[in-house]
Structure 1
Amino acid sequence: MPLRADEIPASVRAIISAGTVIPAHPLALTADRTLDERRQRALTRYYIDAGVGGLAVGVHTTQFAIRDVGLYEPVLSLAREEAAAWTDRPLALVAGLAGRTEQACREADIAVGLGYHAGLLSLAALKGADEDALVAHCESVAERIPLFGFYLQTAVGGLPLSESFWRRFASIPNVVGIKIAPFHRYRTLDVVRGVALAGAEDRVTLYTGNDDHIVADLLTPFDVRRGEETVRIRIKGGLLGHWSVWTKSAVEIFERCRAAAGTDTVPADLLALDSAVTDMNAAVFDVENDFHGVIAGCHEVLRRQGLLEGIWCLDPAEGLGPGQAEKLTRVAADHPGLVDDSFVAANLSRWLG
């Protein structure tokens, strides 16, 4: 049964439109690369207790290859089930959608059937398609589930997408948000302008996926000329792989940014956090090695905290990049206020119980 945006529970719609912290949920595996259900549940519990407003499951950080090994529906189901059992507060549940139109629609149907509220639509499988074909694909999937657009960076398989595309995408009635993750300031502006020119700023909520520029994205007002008026738009939330680690601290930073965003003066120490968080992200995402260890880096932080047993990925070739472990040690020592090790240590046995 298709889901329309106005059918999302009002409490969840309010969370999405106000902006919130949505971590991209990793995949917990055993040494033989099968699902570690106990630790997968522990991760969900961790994020909820850290204070997130939603979960994104089946996305890049969960590993797109879950589709190839029959784990897409089980992993989405596990997160939905655990969220409902662990808390009675509303959470925005976002399912990753990938592949060509038939596959993406099938995944949308699965997500709706499991109780997810929106789909984060990857366009990576449509490389070479023209703008009309991309928009038609998005329209087809939006008939099944409310959508978050996803501007995935080209370094990990994303497509360059124009301002015109984002204007047309934002005009699709069942679009509720866009994750802006090109890691590119010019392309970030293309999304903002596209939404403004579509007149969709009150319906389509912008989320930063620019893990290299998180704090500044949340603090920056974007002014766009639309005819005779100037429209001010803000990025209100974040849907981030980086927020799958040190999540308690991420929630605290987000709340500080939200409180400051509406004021005339942003404290210098809050602005300074932008470069500090980016420094940490460079280690987590293995920027020096062209993002080779982008998923393994998240796993390594969680392994060190005891949430994961190892850093295994579905692809045995995926692991930490040269020097990445040392960089993770360095940034955690340089920015002790941005980690949440004590919070995890105090709750780990309960989450694993």
Structure 2
Amino acid sequence: MSATQTLVRGLRGTVVPAVATPMDPRGVVDFDALRGYAERIAAARIGGVAVWAHTGRGLHLSEPDRADVLRVWRETVDGPIVAGVGVPRSVRATTLREAWDATVGMAVQAAGLGADAVMVYPLAQFAERPEGEREAVRLHERVAEACGLPVLGFFLHGEAGGYPYPPSLIRRLLALPSAVGVKLATLDRAMACQDAIRAAEGSGKLVVTGEDRMFGPSLMWGADSALVGIAAARVGLTNAVLDAWTAGDHTAFVRASGRLDRFAEATFTAPIEGYVQRMLWAAVWEGLLPESAAHDPYGPRLPESERTTVIRCLESLSQEKD
């Protein structure tokens, strides 16, 4: 069995938290807080973790910080580590070739640090180019060739700088021997999510939901595993929904899905980039992070009233069982 097939089998039916990166207001990573956070996440029932993802502000981290972040998780987590790879903010890519090179370089770095797979951030430029689909496939091939790891395609909504993959591209990506699957983060586009899942049917690869605001429905449409920002703070809440659906316990699924929806409504709302800060506030309330390390200097500044909304939601949920 190949490494790709082994990873597909191991991750199917599991939750992979898109973990946060503890920082101070200046963007300095708090590695003491990170280690404690990693230990708490690793103690939960997870399929693995996703580092350098959007929730962890992976493209904003310096190269040394990225390396140290992944080392902490590799030392702490026994399961698979999926590393997001793309164009770091520190790289001023002026051509598509430079963007490719930066993405490949990040994947090679991840492999050298012990990652088990890479998740390729989509290049938004592909959507505007006549040969965009062919170029997107070639980028994934080149990443796999360079780093030697299984590759997860990342359908990311445009508000986060992504490229909404058409079904034809998803089919082409999943036909690659190195492809583990596709991760869907369409935000609120139900038709796009459904079309992507239909395109993946019969591939034997993972259909990974990253649909925090459509989590339950995405499972009903055919997603079979999860890589979500909500699990950066609420692993148990996320597991409850996936477990109930997998077990065919529809009564438990409806209840668990409703609870997750309430939390998603409080955290994944406009401005959507504020979800990272909201998730950090939730992690503080959960006891996963200290207050001093719960800052997102790369997102919008949010009023205190938004924190109050998040905390009130968590307090309400705490009165119930996951």
Tell me if TM exceeds 0.5. yes
Residue 121 of structure 2 corresponds to 122
So what's the TM-score if we normalise by structure 2? 0.85
- CA RMSD for the aligned pairs? 2.4
Q: Which amino acid aligns with 2:142?
A: S
Q: Which amino acid aligns with 1:154?
A: G
Task: Choose the corresponding residue for 1:303, options 279, 284, 293.
Answer: 284
Task: Choose the corresponding residue for 2:139, options 137, 140, 145.
Answer: 137
Q: Does 1:182 align with 2:178?
A: no
Summarize the Cα distance change of 1:125–1:68 in structure 2 as closer, same or farther, 3 Å threshold: farther
Q: Which runs of 5+ in 2 are unaligned?
A: 88-98
> Which residues of 2 match residues 237-256 of structure 1 at below 5 A?
237-256=225-244
* Displacement after TM superposition at 1:276 (Å): 3.0
Question: Using the alignment, how far apart are the partners of 1:147 and 1:185 within structure 2?
Answer: 25
Q: Which runs of 5+ in 1 are unaligned?
A: 84-89, 223-233, 261-265, 341-353
Cα shift readout 1:141-178 (whole Å, capped 9, x = no counterpart): 12232111111122222222211111111111100121
Percent identity between the aligned chains? 22
Summarize the Cα distance change of 1:74–1:338 in structure 2 as closer, same or farther, 3 Å threshold: farther
Q: Which amino acid aligns with 2:135?
A: A
Question: Using the alignment, how far apart are the partners of 2:319 and 2:139 within structure 1?
Answer: 43
Q: Is the 8 A contact 1:213 1:274 kept in 2?
A: no
Question: Using the alignment, how far apart are the partners of 1:139 and 1:339 within structure 2?
Answer: 45
Q: Is the 8 A contact 2:59 2:86 kept in 1?
A: no
Summarize the Cα distance change of 1:31–1:161 in structure 2 as closer, same or farther, 3 Å threshold: closer
Residue 113 of structure 1 corresponds to 112
Summarize the Cα distance change of 1:303–1:72 in structure 2 as closer, same or farther, 3 Å threshold: same
Question: Using the alignment, how far apart are the partners of 1:137 and 1:161 within structure 2?
Answer: 14
* Displacement after TM superposition at 1:31 (Å): 4.7
SS in structure 2 at match of 1:179: strand
Task: Choose the corresponding residue for 2:167, options 163, 166, 179.
Answer: 163
Task: Choose the corresponding residue for 1:64, options 53, 58, 66.
Answer: 58
Summarize the Cα distance change of 1:338–1:328 in structure 2 as closer, same or farther, 3 Å threshold: farther
Residue 46 of structure 1 corresponds to 40
Task: Choose the corresponding residue for 1:267, options 250, 256, 275.
Answer: 250
Q: Does 1:20 align with 2:14?
A: yes
After the TM superposition, list the runs of 4 or more consecutive aligned residues in structure 1 that deviate by more than 4 angstroms.
Answer: 337-340
Residue 210 of structure 2 corresponds to 209
> Which residues of 2 match residues 224-243 of structure 1 at below 5 A?
234-243=222-231
Q: Which amino acid aligns with 2:271?
A: D
Q: Is the 8 A contact 1:26 1:244 kept in 2?
A: yes
* Displacement after TM superposition at 1:269 (Å): 4.6
* Displacement after TM superposition at 1:212 (Å): 0.6
